[in-house]
């Protein structure tokens, strides 16, 4: 099987894998999926993601279709490096292989400029035209004209707060604190028209390539607030050369005053997803960011 055959017959890929007709090398693929590098007969490589076979944990309907739709939509903007979708099946996704490299200040600056171009491409509404996922959780992408603050409170904060409380990751007092934030998103968040955003842009979803570019992978793409992507880049230690990337972004497309103060609010969505998915280990981060969003002493940080 070569790349031309794979493009023409994507549904044949599982059969070739089952019969070990393609060289397959396991690679890191995150917490949810199994990942591999496939080397085709023409020497071309592709990256595959598959759902681990477990009877108690079947692949959610539309899971890979959502990621494929998001990747294609981001790629359509022709603004930033996004791998091409080669195969999108209900339980398997194959993308063009990106050779890993090292992050450099120059790549970070280019990334900042290209991310601004992606956001500037815009979206017809908040949400997206396909059902969404973030991690293994469903995410309501029903298109909505906004305003952003109402949409973000109802579609990105409240659902994952409920899941986190139901899972025992957050207490009632924790929930009451986050509910204060939800009730004040309109005054805290800074409304903007929908931007074309990655939606899950924590540092692990920025792949630094050997071509000295930063590639976007594993999106939860939708129309949202551009500051959400920027805030997520600072989570869990931040991307390398974050300050250079942010400076280049702001030079390309300046941010409204007060954007640094809004970082904790925009990070809160992804942190609530983490408590919903992974439990109380992320509880302190949720509480810290909720307090920071409300203007209390403890606050999240972003490179300045």
Instruction: Name the DSSP letter for residue 167.
Output: T
Q: Distance between CA atoms of 160 and 268, rounded to whole angstroms?
A: 10
pLDDT at 209: 97
Paired tokens of 78: 């022709």
Q: Where do the domains of the chain lie?
A: 3-96, 105-295
What is the average pLDDT value for the chain, to the nearest integer?
A: 93
Q: Is the pLDDT of residue 69 over 70?
A: yes
Q: Sign of the C-alpha dihedral, residues 142, 145, 148, 150?
A: negative
Structural class in CATH, domain 3-96: alpha beta
Q: Distance between CA atoms of 1 and 10, rounded to whole angstroms?
A: 11
Q: Distance between CA atoms of 79 and 75, rounded to whole angstroms?
A: 7
Q: Is the pLDDT of residue 260 over 80?
A: yes
Q: Is the pLDDT of residue 81 over 90?
A: yes
Pick from 19-23, 100-104, 234-238: least confident: 19-23
Q: Are strands 45-50 and 92-96 parallel, antiparallel or unpaired?
A: antiparallel
Q: Is the pLDDT of residue 298 over 60?
A: no
Question: For the structural domain made of 105-295, what CATH number should be given?
Answer: 3.90.1200.10
101 contacts 229 by C-beta, under 8 angstroms:
no
Q: Is the pLDDT of residue 304 over 60?
A: no
pLDDT in tens, 133-187: 999 999 999 999 999 999 999 999 999 999 999 999 999 999 999 999 999 999 9
**Is 35 in a helix, a strand, or coil?**
strand
Q: Is the pLDDT of residue 193 over 60?
A: yes
Q: How many CB atoms lie under 10 A from the CB of residue 255?
A: 17
């Amino acid at each position: 099987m070569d790349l031309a055959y794979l493009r023409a017959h994507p549904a044949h890929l599982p059969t070739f894998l089952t019969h070990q007709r393609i060289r397959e090398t396991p690679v890191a693929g995150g917490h949810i999926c199994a990942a591999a590098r496939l080397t085709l007969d023409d020497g071309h490589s592709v990256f595959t993601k598959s759902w681990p076979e477990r009877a108690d944990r079947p692949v959610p309907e539309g899971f890979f279709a959502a990621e494929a739709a998001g990747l294609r939509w981001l790629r359509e903007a022709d603004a930033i490096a996004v791998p091409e979708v080669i195969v999108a099946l209900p339980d398997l996704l194959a993308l063009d292989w990106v050779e890993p490299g090292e992050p450099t200040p120059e790549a970070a600056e280019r990334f900042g400029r290209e991310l601004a171009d992606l956001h500037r491409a815009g979206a017809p509404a908040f949400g997206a035209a396909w059902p969404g996922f973030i991690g293994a959780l469903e995410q309501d992408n029903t298109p909505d004209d906004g305003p952003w603050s109402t949409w973000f409170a109802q579609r990105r904060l409240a659902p994952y707060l409920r899941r986190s409380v139901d899972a025992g990751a957050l207490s009632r007092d924790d929930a009451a604190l986050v509910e204060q934030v939800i009730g004040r998103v309109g005054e805290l968040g800074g409304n903007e028209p929908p931007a074309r955003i990655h939606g899950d842009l924590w540092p692990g979803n920025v792949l630094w390539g050997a071509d000295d570019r930063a590639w976007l992978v594993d999106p939860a793409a939708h129309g949202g607030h551009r500051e959400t992507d920027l805030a997520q880049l600072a989570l869990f230690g931040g991307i390398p050369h974050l300050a250079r990337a942010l400076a280049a972004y702001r030079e390309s497309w300046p941010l409204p005053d007060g954007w640094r103060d809004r970082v904790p609010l925009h990070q809160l969505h992804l942190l609530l997803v983490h408590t919903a998915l992974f439990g109380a280990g992320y509880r302190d981060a949720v509480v810290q960011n909720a307090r920071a969003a409300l203007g209390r002493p403890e606050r999240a940080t972003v490179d300045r």
